[in-house]
Amino acid sequence: MTRERYNPKESEPRWQAVWEEKKLFSTANDDPRPAYYVLEMFPYPSGRIHMGHVRNYTLGDVLARYKRARGFSVLHPMGWDAFGMPAENAAMQNGVHPREWTWANIASMRNQLKPMGLSLDWEREFATCDPEYYRHQQRLFIDFYNAGLVYRKTAKVNWDPVDQTVLANEQVIDGRGWRSGAIVEQRELTQWFFRITQFAGELDSALDSLERWPEKVRTMQRNWIGRSEGLMVRFAIANAGAVANAGAHSEITVYTTRPDTLFGASFIGVAADHPLARDLAAGNPELAAFIADIRKTGTAQELIDKAEKRGFDTGLRVAHPFDPDWLLPVYVANFVLMDYGTGAIFACPAHDQRDLDFARAYGLPVTPVVCPPDADPASFTVGDEAYAGDGRLINSRFLDGMTSAEAREEVARRLENARLAGAPVGTRKVNYRLRDWGISRQRYWGCPIPMIHCEACGVVPVPVEQLPVLLPDDVTFDKPGNPLERHPTWSKVDCPRCGAPARRETDTMDTFVDSSWYFARFTDPWNREAPTTASAVARFMPVDQYIGGIEHAILHLLYARFFTRAMKATGHVSLDEPFAGLFTQGMVVHETYKTTSGVWVEPRDVRIEGSGADRRAVHVRTGEAIVIGPIEKMSKSKKNTVDPDEIIAAYGADTARWFVLSDSPPERDVVWTDEGVQGAWRFIQKVWRLTNEVASLPPGDDTPSKGAAKAVRKAAHKAVAAVTEDIERLRFNRCVAQLYELSNAIQGAMNAAAEAGDASAETVSALREAMSIMVQLIAPMTPHLAESCWEALGNEGLVASTPWPGYDPALLVEDEIVLPVQVNGKRRADITVARDADRATIEQAALAQDSVRRAIGDAPVRKIIIVPQRIVNVVV
Ligand code: ANZ
Ligand code: ZN
């Protein structure tokens, strides 16, 4: 009997070599079996993998291995999201070239990933910074351009003064650059845009069809897209002649979602960039100065929402659409955005907080017109807080008494029929908050935009046969700004159309572009002619299960959904939605530690002593007392990280994998603890010990089994059913619990058989069967251990290529049931009887109970009611 400890240092590399040699995880595109595509969000090559990666890839790997065992041809690839600022920062700080830095990081991270034993198809690996990848991205860009999905416009942009680049609105968080943390400024630049708004409606409505996406993510996307139904309303300008430069304007069109509040209108607000404001400013230096001033705030919504409300009275007056004698002032207002709706609003201060703040600042009327359901219409007033909800209309002439919904409809109907200069005053309109995606970045380490600017021809795409537009190698990083722009020759080219000297575009693409189609490229990364191959896309797409962090719930996923539609429109794929199933995993978190003087200390330098209320920490080397802080996401800044390399070196990959799967549901955070890791390690040793005990059982003799056989078979078959269902639903922590239970059942059966002296053939083979099943079930999670056990049990081949076990449904049926017994409706006892026990047996068992007999006493039993499988009632 082997009593040796399981040694992952020896077995893990050995099994990895065997899998690789047999090319077990290479996926052939012409495999006749049905395909299953599981993908984890690919990593940025920062240099080292962290526990978040370990968790993410383990989750995907369990599914990949399971689906393979279920007979699917599984596509499970890995690559690198390799462009981006950190490489340039490294170049600036350490003088290392971004390319070298990136490829060196990729090499070391690949070396860290391989020991995890992930069942990846490494033959499909690519990095997005490889010209063999980005040339195809340039091709897509040109195809999108020709399809009208890419355009250039001058726009106000968010400028990150530290990274010296433009940021998308999505990349501005609390008014700061998402990467640099610098306060964002506003600039006017000519930029390249993807026309994501063309698909706004589809991107919104198709969310309903994504049934295997978390509801939370769908809601976040829905809010981001921001569909609203409203009304365009035209207001006639009453005094254009009296205001300088207003002559060309006779009306202002606003977009409103609250036409019910029209009688609460107090003023009109137009954006600083509204054509009317621009024209008026040309004749009014004071207004021009005001506009220049408010431009300093960034373009991001949250910035504008937070900024103090400021306005400028243009002197213009417009007529209320329902009352030509009611005139409203027109302000240029800093909270009105040009790129939403029409860039103009009517303001109703009582029912919109921004309007209210503005009205209070400028002394404008505040008339409530919607009375909340719980307020008294006669006395309802608005103080500092607008009432934004629905209610009953007041102070609104013919709308009075209507609900908000009725009033919205009534106003829309009337204004659709009213005329101004021969056209309807009101038009219904659906609007989206979503804006087009600005992808120009003034950076070096990104995919070059394949466009050429010619004085005579304008913008000309690089001819497709000349792709890729390669990044030059000889660039400098000694000053901020775009190295491509200051390169002496790179941007100097001849115009492909007329041959005249022209200028290459020096902007590169936002790195979110790179990750917007990599999943499609994985289906055929060998195609040199085109970004995708129709048959491969058809075979593998959509991704059956995509797994990644919730931080990508909006941007990355929305861009990928847009790209898939744009690629369909340009003939590169034939589907709309890239990810049929989405799973967002929780984070790996850990306690934080500090010295008493407030310096962060790494977990590896801390020893925990005592437990419960007495639990305390000391520094391993100095013995000084350490303060235990809250549990937080592992981060370098708080030094509460645990290095996967160290864990794998000490315990092996299987222990790390088992632990990240075991402690909490995969969508929740998992707390990394030393005790947890120890527990995982002990379980792995236990499975190994049990395997060897079962493997060394002598062949059974022909005495009849003493009953242990059936119990252990039942436990194993039940575990198959339960683990199968739990894996299908990604409830891996429950699989872990099932497997703990099964190991206990096998151990129990071994002990019982030994005690009873039961060495029957039936029992021995039941134990062997149960142990083999245990090994098969655990294989997706701890694949190396499983191979070693499979070998020790003397089974054929590799468990990694063995079909998933089935189960015998008959063994899942409980053959005994518990029935409550009542006497005159009062519960007195429970009896355990065979599921198919007959009436007489049940009656006899019920009446044999002491507590039942006592309750009956001397009274004669009048009848016994038995509700089959449910209850027994004795009536006296
Ligand atoms: C009058 C009104 C009264 C409004 C009221 C709201 C409350 P959503 O739902 O997000 O589409 N709005 C329209 N265009 C704007 C712009 N360019 N800049 C700033 N605000 C703008 O928002 C629509 C509402 O936002 C519109 O409805 C408009 O104000 C404002 F009690 O019209 B509302
Ligand atoms: Zn030209």
Measured between alpha carbons, how far is 176 from 397 in angstroms, rounded to an integer?
47
8 A C-beta contact, residue 386 and residue 355: yes
Q: How far is C-alpha 621 from the geometric centre of its chain's CA atoms?
A: 41
Name the nearest CA neighbour of 659 among 5, 67, 58. 58
Distance 138 CA to ligand 2 centre (A): 20
Name the nearest CA neighbour of 427 among 236, 267, 255. 255
What region does 148 belong to: left with phi over 0, alpha with psi -120 to 50, or beta?
left
Ligand 1, from 156, 229, 258, 260: best to mutate by most atoms within 8 Å of Cβ?
258
Is 70 exceeded by the pLDDT of residue 472?
yes
216's enclosing H/E stretch is helix 215-225
Per-residue confidence band for 299, with pLDDT thresholds at 50, 70 and 90: low
Name the nearest CA neighbour of 873 among 853, 851, 843. 843
Sheet of 426-432, strands arranged across? 251-256, 227-236, 426-432
What one-character DSSP code corresponds to residue 583? E
Residue 309 vs residues 269, 336, 492, 687, 783: alpha-carbon distances, Å: 11, 10, 47, 67, 61
* Predicted confidence (pLDDT) per residue in 821-852, tens digit: 999 999 999 898 888 888 988 998 899 899 99
**Nearest residue (CA) to ligand 1, atom 27:** 256
232's enclosing H/E stretch is strand 227-236
The beta strand positions in 289-378, using DSSP E, are: 311-320, 323-333, 344-347, 370-371
Distance 485 CA to ligand 2 centre (A): 20
- Output the six-digit token pair for 681: 């390690």
Quote the Cα angle for 323-324-325, to 5°: 90
Asked whether the CA dihedral 792, 794, 800, 804 is positive or negative, the reply is: negative
Distance 231 CA to ligand 1 centre (A): 10
Quote the Cα angle for 192-193-198, to 5°: 155
* Predicted confidence (pLDDT) per residue in 228-284, tens digit: 999 999 999 999 999 999 999 999 999 999 999 999 999 999 999 999 999 999 999
Ligand closest to Cα of 431 equals 1
Per-residue confidence band for 301, with pLDDT thresholds at 50, 70 and 90: low
* Predicted confidence (pLDDT) per residue in 741-787, tens digit: 999 999 999 998 988 888 899 999 999 999 999 999 999 999 999 99
Name the nearest CA neighbour of 104 among 116, 87, 118, 120. 87
What one-character DSSP code corresponds to residue 529? S
Identify the pLDDT of residue 659. 94
The SS3 of residue 212 is strand
Identify the pLDDT of residue 314. 97
Ligand 1, from 231, 255, 385, 435: best to mutate by most atoms within 8 Å of Cβ?
255
SS3 content of the chain, % helix, strand, coil (to 5): 40, 20, 35
Ligand 1 atom having least distance to the Cα of 228:
11
Distance 352 CA to ligand 1 centre (A): 8
Q: What is the dihedral of CA 333, 338, 341, 347, to 10 degrees?
A: 0
- Output the six-digit token pair for 695: 């493997």
The SS3 of residue 301 is helix
Greater model confidence, 29 or 156: 29
Identify the pLDDT of residue 1. 44
Helices (H), 296-436: 301-306, 353-362, 404-417
Identify the pLDDT of residue 411. 98
Asked whether the CA dihedral 140, 146, 149, 152 is positive or negative, the reply is: positive
Name the nearest CA neighbour of 42 among 160, 133, 138. 133
Distance 348 CA to ligand 1 centre (A): 9
**Nearest residue (CA) to ligand 1, atom 29:** 256
Ligand closest to Cα of 227 equals 1
Ligand 1 atom having least distance to the Cα of 350:
31
Residue pointed to by tokens 């065979």: 834
* Predicted confidence (pLDDT) per residue in 105-124, tens digit: 999 999 999 999 999 999 99
Measured between alpha carbons, how far is 468 from 136 in angstroms, rounded to an integer?
8
Distance 385 CA to ligand 1 centre (A): 17
Query: Is 479 annotated as ligand-binding?
Result: no
Residue pointed to by tokens 């790390």: 656
Beta bridge partner(s), residue 606: 619
Q: In the structure, which protein residues have their CB atom closer than 6 angstroms to any atom of ligand 1?
A: 226, 228, 255-258, 261, 335-337, 340-341, 343, 345-346, 348, 351-352, 431, 433
Greater model confidence, 183 or 194: 194
* Predicted confidence (pLDDT) per residue in 796-820, tens digit: 999 999 999 999 998 888 777 889 9
- Distance, first Cα to last Cα, the chain: 62
Rg of the chain taking only CA atoms, in angstroms: 35
Measured between alpha carbons, how far is 266 from 277 in angstroms, rounded to an integer?
19
Greater model confidence, 52 or 568: 568
* Predicted confidence (pLDDT) per residue in 233-244, tens digit: 999 999 999 999
392's enclosing H/E stretch is strand 392-393
Helices (H), 264-333: 275-282, 285-294, 301-306
Identify the pLDDT of residue 414. 98
The SS3 of residue 830 is strand
Ligand closest to Cα of 265 equals 1
Mean pLDDT, residues 359-379 taken together = 96
Name the nearest CA neighbour of 120 among 82, 68, 81. 68
DSSP string for residues in 35-46? EEEEEEPPPP--
**Nearest residue (CA) to ligand 1, atom 18:** 336
**Nearest residue (CA) to ligand 1, atom 8:** 228
Measured between alpha carbons, how far is 783 from 13 in angstroms, rounded to an integer?
12
Measured between alpha carbons, how far is 731 from 724 in angstroms, rounded to an integer?
10
Distance 239 CA to ligand 1 centre (A): 25
* Predicted confidence (pLDDT) per residue in 666-686, tens digit: 999 888 888 899 999 999 999
Neighbours of 635 (CB within 10 A): 15
8 A C-beta contact, residue 139 and residue 448: no
Identify the pLDDT of residue 403. 98
Helices (H), 729-760: 732-756
Is 60 exceeded by the pLDDT of residue 2?
no
8 A C-beta contact, residue 739 and residue 771: no
What one-character DSSP code corresponds to residue 33? S
pLDDT, mean over the chain: 94
Ligand 1, from 342, 345, 369: best to mutate by most atoms within 8 Å of Cβ?
345
Measured between alpha carbons, how far is 394 from 398 in angstroms, rounded to an integer?
10
Identify the pLDDT of residue 205. 98
8 A C-beta contact, residue 2 and residue 23: no
3-state SS string for 508-526: EECHHHHCCCHHHHCCCCC
DSSP string for residues in 76-135? ----B---SHHHHHHHHHH---HHHHHHHHHHHHHHHHGGG-----GGG--BTTSHHHHH
Per-residue confidence band for 297, with pLDDT thresholds at 50, 70 and 90: low
Ligand closest to Cα of 454 equals 2
Is 90 exceeded by the pLDDT of residue 589?
no
